Structure 1
């Protein structure tokens, strides 16, 4: 006042400043349509739980969601504001409301908005996936524009008085225990009459808003994580998170692939096109293979099994099937016999069914079970000798035949 003796004093300054601010910065009244928007935010002050094992006090976040028209409110505690916890809380709110609003209005936290913009903010990919799953949209509040989310900020203040104050002195030893207490107090809040009105939030919600919300999808949302890999020569990509492998069509060998995985599925993309989908397998170093993904030669090998070779041999003759069974049983592991079985059965194309049958009968009589035995019988035309005329001797000595004593 010494410098400006004719200036306004504080009361007059406040009066004229208020009149000026109304003139240059008018506040638009927000009309909220039923089921139009759900506003979500976190309270500035946190709650806490006590770890039973370490007795460590852990801070937890206080999440709030409110429907615009009825002001029906949902709240819960979560471990963090990270995208996994944030998306779960948003989904829990929609499940609580038993319907999906036309839009979800979050603040500009990183779990919702990667990059703020007045005209086209970049939505977090996980939140965008949630919106797609629930057939809704994300409309972030403008940065530094608190009036865009004044409804939820007002709800946070009210819940602070009605819920937070009643909890801060109580000790909770789990998130579930804390949330149960929050929901009990929340029921009382939603059932309380609105100021100056003869109805409560839940009454207004049931009468005006519940039936207008879109129907919830049957399946809950699963968060997608991503990984990148190059398709290996064997037609599989590795999911590094679990250290296991998933097949893709063989045409994509050596191509770059993007893996999107949830708790239950693994989707594989190449240049934005999905080329494979598999159920997720958490056991490490396991190959999950769809036979149609393999090249034709690889498909044939992949289908090798003891039962397949025995069935193939049975279609030729019982003696051939018996010989194949003896080969498989004589090995420590069935797969050790597969190439021998394949070589023997392929003789049908080379020498004909009758010669192969006779060769197997003769080899069964010798009780020597390997590919070389059948090969030597056919090369030496021993399959043509009648059994009754056959001299009482074993196979001729040959460098490639180990003899039956080798298998004793």
Structure 2
């Protein structure tokens, strides 16, 4: 069968640029947008045929084709051994495997087999039937798609009559094998989102190179086509496992087609099959989901040989990266400015943790895990504490305390007492009492400044009266003063004599001499 006129013209251009202009095969291929190997094949055939350049004027296309390619291809009735296209399709998913390599191996086995161009054409037709929707090319162990199902799983009360909640269905799928992992979760909150990734990696016995996620709030703080902002905890988890997070682009459905097809699979073969079940807990539901996940992964493909599980074991799993020795521990990241008492507050616990005194008024990042509180400044960890559940307590590292010669020495007990004196003697005595009753006076700075600020809201006379009442009942705290002012107790009459203040005996409690 003769080649089209356009194909022969392309061959003449190859010979012109190579034999006439002296361009390299790479330059010829780039110029004419054809593979370098194809250009080389045309030039080799021309040299073997002894064709001169320029070509004779009377050499038409038919004659040129005959000299380059010899006699026509065998008649259609001649049987040629055909490759196993399903196997070829899977082999191409392996790292570094190309169609040219597979064609060479095929020709070694069948010398009378298809030419390379026919080989590629036949494979293209096969692949178009297999990948009707998903045309992305995946590499073994490269991508893991994660998403939540649109449908939810109802959870019932103990009598199995009333719905008490609806569980989210998390679905993950590998790019090549399509192996899926699914799990019911209480919600899409960050903690559940992170923990289910850890269990997914354990299910796979390894990690991929890329995590392709939809623009969920759990994973992406701010969606953007070119520079999406990844949640700090999600990014930290990915870094722990050596994985890169690649959010799907907004309004680009092809970016997440594997995830969506896997979600559809889970909805049809998990949610639909469990539609008549009534689970009383998420744990009970997950037992049933695990069985269905195994069934899906072991179910034979319709066109390709094997199953998701068999292809995973053969192709994906060997390409996955090993798991780290220690699983990721969930942690939340917060940003906060250091108070003048060189402590930051974990508001969830109402507890205060120290940082180096030089960071007063600086913005720091706080990493909160179940057991520890770590503080970072410019990506460097500057403090670490065991997490405490003592409300309104202080965890202070002595090394964080200020030295007399440091630049923040301006924040001293004497200075705060001087400010309090301007309001009145009762306020000054209250401020001194607050610092006296702290292991370190710096721990009372925050409360003292809060008390002084109350004078701006309620006036100095009322603040003096409130401090006088608080001293009488030995309640030395900001909250006590604030409560007295809010309830108007400062206007109530007090006994004439105010008892002398006494302090508990403790080696860390400083008396008035400390400030003189």
Question: For the superposition of Structure 1 and Structure 2, which TM-score range results when normalised by the shorter chain?
Answer: 0.5 to 0.7
- Cα distance in structure 2, aligned partners of 1:336 and 1:131: 48
Partner of 1:71, secondary structure, is coil
Give the structure 1 partner of residue 164 of structure 2. Answer: 57
Q: Is the 8 A contact 2:145 2:259 kept in 1?
A: yes
- What is the aligned counterpart of 1:244 among 332, 351, 376? 351
Partner of 1:77, secondary structure, is: strand
Aligned to 1:174: 281
SS of the aligned residue for 1:43 comes to strand
Once the two structures are TM-superposed, the CA of residue 65 in structure 1 deviates from its matched residue by 0.4
Asked whether 1:194 is paired with 2:301, we answer yes
TM-score by length of 2: 0.50
In structure 2, which of residues 118, 142, 159 is the aligned counterpart of residue 36 of structure 1? 142
Q: Secondary structure of 2:273's match?
A: helix
Q: Report if the CA contact (8 A) 1:48-1:59 is conserved.
A: yes
8 Å contact kept, 2:331–2:367: no
CA apart distance, 1:37: 0.2
Which sections of structure 2, spanning at least 5 residues, go unmatched? 1-127, 405-437, 441-502
**Do structure 1's residue 210 and structure 2's residue 381 form an aligned pair?**
no
In structure 2, the partner of 1:372 is none
For 2:173 and 2:133, the matched residues in 1 are separated by 21
> Partners in 1 of 2:134 and 2:305 — Cα distance?
26
CA shift digits 1:363-399 (9 cap, x unpaired): xxxxxxxxxxxxxxxxxxxxxxxxxxxxxxxxxxxxx
Q: Cα distance, 1:176 vs. partner?
A: 0.6
Change (3 A) 1:51 1:132: farther
Distance 1:58 1:294, change over 3 A: same
Map 1:144-163 to 2 at 5 A: 144-163=251-270
Deviation at 1:27, TM superposition (A): 7.9
Structure 1 residue aligned with 2:431: none
Q: Which moved more, 1:120-129 or 1:62-71?
A: 120-129
Q: Deviations over 1:146-204 (max 9, x none)?
A: 22222222222222222211111110011111011100111111111112233121111
Q: Which digits, 9 at most, give the CA deviation of each residue in 1:69-88, with x for residues without a partner?
A: 11111001112223332222
Change (3 A) 1:339 1:119: closer
2:443 pairs with 1:335: no
2:230 and 2:183 mapped to 1: Cα distance?
Answer: 23
Q: 1:94 aligns with which of 185, 188, 201?
A: 201
**Counterparts of 1:308-323 in structure 2 under 5 Å?**
none
Asked if 1:287 is matched to 2:458, the reply is no
SS at match of 1:198: coil
CA distance in 2, matches of 1:258, 1:177: 39
CA contact (8 A) 1:291 1:302 kept: no
Q: Map 1:243-282 to 2 at 5 A.
A: 243-282=350-389
Q: Which moved more, 1:144-153 or 1:62-71?
A: 144-153
In structure 1, the residue corresponding to 2:373 is in which secondary structure?
strand
Deviation at 1:135, TM superposition (A): 1.1
Structure 2 CA distance for aligned equivalents of residues 28 and 193 of structure 1: 19
Query: Cα distance 1:250–1:151, how it changes in 2: closer, same or farther (>3 A)?
Result: closer
Measured in 1, the distance between the counterparts of 2:153 and 2:319 equals 34
Across the two proteins, how many residue pairs are aligned to each other? 288
> How many angstroms apart in 1 are the aligned matches of 2:384 and 2:392?
18
Distance 1:38 1:290, change over 3 A: same
Q: Which residue of 2 aligns with 1:67?
A: 174
CA 1:115–1:237 in structure 2 vs 1: closer, same or farther (change >3 Å)? closer
CA contact (8 A) 2:297 2:307 kept: yes
Alpha-carbon distance between aligned partners in 2 of 1:270 and 1:136, rounded to the nearest angstrom: 25
Distance of 2:222 and 2:396 partners within structure 1: 40
Deviation at 1:138, TM superposition (A): 1.0
1:47 to 153, 158, 161: 153
Q: Residue deviations 1:44-95, cap 9 Å, x none?
A: 2111112449954311111110011111110011122233322222232112
Question: Could you tell me whether the CA contact under 8 Å between 1:246 and 1:288 is conserved in 2?
Answer: yes
The CA deviation at 1:254 is 4.7
SS in 2 for 1:173: coil
Over aligned residues, Cα RMSD in angstroms?
Answer: 3.3
Ranges in structure 1 where 5+ consecutive residues have no aligned partner: 1-21, 304-331, 344-408
Alpha-carbon shift at residue 106 of structure 1 (Å): 0.9
